[in-house]
Amino acid sequence: MATEIERSKLFDLSVDLLAVADTEGNFVEVNHAWKEILGWEPEDLLSDTFLSFVHPDDIDATVKQIEKQKTSGTTVQQFVNRYRCKDGSYRWLEWTASAEIDGFIYAIARDKTDHKRIEQERDRFFDISIDLLVIANTDGTFRKVNERWTEVLGWEQSELVNRPFFDFVHPDDIEPTLVELEREKRGERVTKFVNRYRCKDNSYLYLEWTTQPEPDGTIYAVARDITRRKLAEQAIMQSVERYQSVIETANDGFWVIDIHGNILEVNDSYCRLSGYTREELLQMHISEIDANETREDTLTHIKEIVNKKNVLFETRHRHKNGTLWDAEISTSYSDIEGGRFFVFIRDIRERKFNEQIANLRDGLSKIVYQGEMDNIMRVALDIAESITQSQIGFYHFVEKDQKTLSLQVWSSNTLKNMCHSEGEEMHYPIDQAGIWVDCIHQGKPIIHNDYEALDHKKGMPEGHPELVREITVPIFRDGLIVAVAGLGNKQIEYSNWDLNVLERIADVAYDFIERKQSEMQIEHMAYYDALTGLPNRTLFSERMAKAMSQCSHTERVLAVCYLDLDGFKTVNDEHGHDVGDELLISLAKRMMNILREGDTLARLGGDEFVILLNNLKEGKESESFLTRAIERIQKPFMVKGYRLLISASIGVTIFPDDDSTADTLLRHADQAMYKAKADPDIDYHMYDLIEEQEIRSKRQMLDQFKQALERDELVLHYQPRIDLFSGEVVSLEALIRWQHPDKGLLMPAQFLPNIEGTPEELQMDEWVVKQALEQLNQRVDQDTAIPLSINISPHHIQQGNFSEYLTDQLTHYPDGIAQNLELEVLETAAIHDIEHVAKMMNSCSKLGVSFSLDDFGTGYSSLTHFHRLPINVLKIDQNFVRSMIDDVNNLDIVKGVVHLSKALQRPVVAEGVENIELGLILLYLGCQYAQGYGIARPMPIEAFDDWLIEWKRERLWHRLHDQEELNSDDIELKIAVYSHRRWLESVEQYIETNGNTAPPSLDSGQSTFSHWYYGMGVARYGNRPAYAFLLPKHLHTHEVAASLIKLVDNGEQKEAKELLGSLATASDSLLDILTKLSTQ
């Protein structure tokens, strides 16, 4: 009884599925594991047959196993089928069942579902692998293969299983394969073993094997078809052999390198490039040659190349003599023979040198416009020294007589370490110079590699290093030697390569020297009189402005003396212009001898001169000079054998007694000169009468203006300011107008100068402030608010109560009005009394008001002053903007202000934008805001809203930003094109109106296009083929224009109009080239 209880407990506690069934297949007893694993209650199972729970696909096999067990009477072991769970799913069960005992069958089932899933996944992986998979015995017999064998070699799986492995190995590969099999029998893992394997069609494929033997005698193997790779390797080796003779005779160097960076093969060309013998190179690692890499760097680089297969890069190789040379490396990798690199090495020194020449040109272009001429030569020498690894460099001029040197420049290294520059600009006879002028004597480049061996050496001056070797080259222009350049003391001998380097760099440098000389000549022409060498009107004006500024800060005065010769016309008429010119030159020299330091004598033209006497204690001090001047002028002149007598009339005005502008001072002196000329009893006259007349005229205008204030005749017109990028209106400027009862609408220039500095000017400003605030308030109420700027006079700014007045006015309006108000102040006014003005402006800023600096570029404010003022916006004077296409100087000013505004992080507004071309150029230059007649004329406020509606439909101005971005050089090109087109329009207008418009300039050398051509044009586009055709096309266009204008002037207007097409054709040809340059 106890035994039966223990059996029952064991039956129920078993984790396996236990069952007892009768011979009819009905369950008699089951344990609890059936519920745990399949979910069936015992009564569920006992009520049905065994087979009713078996998967339909497994019933036949199950029945066979039962019949087998019945007939044989043996125990059935490890029979597997799928059994249904209570939830309808199936699980794999592995059965062990006894033979029939006493009419019952005893069975044990174990859940094999997870094991079966793993087995199925393994079989699925085995079948889908792209590699050839094998399970074999250690005797070389196949146990199992995957389907890939059929796809790759053509054998069915059944044709391979139980067949010996060696039945399929190529006869020549059996022996090495046996060796690998022995290793496997010893338990060693085999990787990347290659042999040839027979396909079903009796061809052979190369297979690469990886095997893993197991302790139970099973060998797992993976094979991969590498036939293509093998054939490629063989092809590469055949190619190497085939092209070996080509490689050996190529100009480029060639290496074969192993995976570790050792040189295995090298051609003769590389031996020549490197200076090493073939035997030496075959003993070297490439890190010993590559100057840019250590051995560790090289090995890292090798790994990168293995991954990329083909690589192109640049480096520097070390020559046997220690010098470095630029090399371009093209390498490809193959894993044949453990890994091989096939490397071509190209000498790219010439290409690198050309790049350095191009960079040199770019650098020298900047120096031409920013630095001294000596800097051009020194930069060129420093580069030549670096390339040739020299230690000495010089660049000297040869004078026109071809007998004298002008010692000019030494390299930075020479000056720093060995020499001094005391000899610069010293003149030195060529026949006294040493070997370094041999190139001048022989007229060709010279190499001296052994200075000591030269018989005609003369030794070196004190402070100069001992010379070991040198190269020198002459620079020719128009058949004459104009300069000589030299390098010295390279550690090894100089070669023709070094000579070529120096020759090209020296010649490029001289091109830029000539440009600099031309620039200096042009600058001299711009500021000095060509005949006498005296300052001209431009330079005189600059000096006078500076002197006036100095007077403003001191108690000193200056005298402006306008001098006109008496009797000069007679000299010209009687003796000719040559004698007259010589007389003017002699006069200039005589007058210069009596000037004090700081005084200026300038020639305005003809026989008119002007003298600036600076730093006088008082005006009377000028009278002693005037007396001496007249005495000197009246002394006889001896010119070309003629004894000439002349005199002079001088008009004088004193600043600041005559507190006028520079131009007005000059005009007053001129007027005074005519007074002196009209009175035979005086030689000079001090200005006074005309000034009084102007004061009376000013007083009359002032009286009328007072009445205008009383009668409310002043009005404001509003001019929009737009954002050039979007075309949107960003603000309005309120501009004063005088609705005169008799003269109509007067512009500010017609009355403001006459009220300047008066109480009426202050009243006008206050009226403008009130009107502006009222207008702002109205638009706020109408929800159409837009920022508004007004002009405040200098006089008002300098008053102490302006900020208080503005504060009081703002109290009458809602908060926030001030934020929409901008006050425009003149640059000159802002710096007049910087302390007071800064205080006033800061007070206004605290109210929310912003400031713009008007007419920026016309004054002399410094950045120091600027940063003391709360300036929010800069405005470029309209005179610069209007003429910037035709006046290069004004263009430079506009560019300068825009660049300065960016540096100061302030927006800039351009005034005077008369057309869309100007708007586009300003946008190119970086100016975002603009106003002017091309956008809108000032208008009454009543007209603004209607204008704004129409403006929003104006697409052209709203799409300026669609233009392509240009760099500064291309902007210059665009301006040159616009300038040319405007010139062409003026020519066509002159012809169409039969000469009744202003005649256009026919001087091609003075045009904006010409300035661009010789400046930015040659710097940016000079190396392009199309550039060479520009100048002939430009000159031809001017020649055609000149011929047509001549026809008009001769009364042949009809013929000129008929030939207008030829002018258009010539111009179109020029513009086509310019368009190509701008789009390349």
CATH code for the domain of 824: 3.20.20.450
Q: Is the same domain home to 290 and 384?
A: no
- The predicted pLDDT at position 332 comes to 87
Contacts of 640 (CB under 8 A, 6+ apart): 575, 578, 579, 582
CB of 528 closer than 8 Å to CB of 540: no
Q: How confident is the model at residue 789 (pLDDT cuts 50, 70, 90)?
A: very high
Q: Residue 1070 sits in a domain of what CATH number?
A: 1.20.120
Q: CA 881 to CA 930: how far, in whole Å?
A: 10
- Binned at pLDDT 50, 70 and 90, residue 421 comes out as very low
| Closest-CA residue to 773 (of 744, 799, 734) | 734
CA angle 72/76/79 to nearest 5° reads 135
Note whether 916 and 812 are same-domain residues: yes
In a domain, 423, yes or no: yes
* DSSP codes of every residue in 435-469: GGGHHHHHTS-EEES-GGG-TT-----TTPPPP--
Are residues 948 and 981 located together in one domain of the fold?
no
Q: How many CA atoms lie within 13 A of 497 on its CB side?
A: 15
Answer yes or no: do 619 and 722 share one domain: no
- According to the model, what pLDDT value does residue 706 have? 93
Residue written as token pair 């146990």: 143
Q: Which residues pair with 313 in a beta bridge?
A: 329
| 986-1019 confidence digits (pLDDT tens) | 888 888 888 888 888 888 777 777 777 777 777 7
Range list of β-strands (E), 23-72: 27-30
Q: What is the pLDDT of residues 233-282, one digit of tens each?
A: 777 667 666 656 666 666 789 989 998 889 998 988 899 988 899 999 99
- Inside any domain, residue 75: yes
What whole-number distance in Å separates Cα of residue 797 and Cα of residue 830? Answer: 8
In a domain, 547, yes or no: no
Mean pLDDT for 178-195 is 81
Rounded CA separation 1077/1025 (Å): 10
| Interatomic CA distance for residues 483 and 238, integer angstroms | 58
Number of structural domains the chain divides into:
7
Asked which of 394-398, 519-523, 981-985 is least confident by mean pLDDT, the reply is 519-523
At 486 the three-state DSSP class reads strand
In angstroms, the CA 489 to CA 414 distance is 11
- Answer yes or no: is 701 within a domain: no
DSSP state of 393: E
pLDDT-based confidence at 547, cuts 50/70/90?
Answer: very high
Q: Which token pair is 336?
A: 């044949």
Of 513, 512, 535, which is closest to residue 524 (Cα–Cα)?
535
Does residue 343 sit in the same domain as residue 357?
A: no
Domain range enclosing 683: 531-539+554-687
Give the mean model confidence (pLDDT) for residues 753-768.
90
Give domain status of residue 881, yes or no.
yes
**Whether residue 274 sits in one domain with residue 205:** no
Q: Do 93 and 65 touch, CB atoms closer than 8 A?
A: no
Q: Are 407 and 423 in contact (CB under 8 A)?
A: yes
Q: What is the pLDDT of residue 279?
A: 92
- How far does Cα 391 stand from its chain's mean position? 34
Residues 134 and 87 placed together within one structural domain of the fold: no
Question: Are residue 91 and residue 133 in the same domain, yes or no?
Answer: no
Domain match, 212 and 242 both: no
**Is the residue at 844 inside a domain?**
yes
Which tokens hold the place of 412?
A: 């930075």
Residue 846, domain member (yes or no)? yes
Residues 1007 and 952 in one domain: no
Dihedrals phi, psi of 848, to nearest 5 degrees: 105, -5
Taking the C-alpha atoms of residue 367 and residue 358, their distance in angstroms, rounded to an integer, is 14
Rg (CA), the chain: 51
Instruction: State pLDDT tens for residues 483-508.
Output: 888 888 888 888 888 888 888 888 88
More confident residue, 169 or 421: 169
How many whole angstroms separate alpha carbon 269 and alpha carbon 34?
A: 86
The answer to whether residues 306 and 193 belong to one domain is no
Q: Among the three residues 296, 331, 347, which one is the final residue of a domain in this structure?
A: 347
pLDDT digits (tens, 9 = 90+) for 855-877: 776 554 556 667 788 989 999 99
Residue 922: is its pLDDT beyond 70?
yes
pLDDT at 381 > cutoff 70? yes
Give yes or no for a contact between 768 and 752, defined as CB atoms under 8 angstroms apart.
Answer: no
CA distances from 757 to 343, 763, 765 (A): 84, 11, 12
Band of residue 579 on the pLDDT scale cut at 50, 70, 90:
very high
For residues 474 and 606, membership in a common domain is answered with: no
Q: Which of 208, 225, 242 is the last residue of a domain?
A: 225
Residue pair 975/1012 in contact (Cβ under 8 Å)? The answer is yes
Enter the pTM of the model.
Answer: 0.40
Residue-wise pLDDT for 618-666, tens only, equals: 988 999 999 999 999 999 999 998 999 999 999 999 999 888 889 989 9
Say how far apart CA 244 and CA 258 lie, in whole Å. Answer: 18
Predicted confidence at residue 110, as pLDDT, reads 86
Average pLDDT over all residues of the chain: 84
Would you state the torsion angle of the CA atoms of residues 193, 194, 196, 200, taken in this order, to the nearest 10 degrees?
70
Is 343 within the bounds of a domain? yes
Integer Cα distance of 133 and 142 in angstroms: 11
pLDDT tens, position by position, 889-917: 888 889 889 998 888 889 999 999 998 88
> Within 13 Å of residue 241, how many CA atoms lie on the same side as its CB?
5
CATH number at residue 97: 3.30.450.20
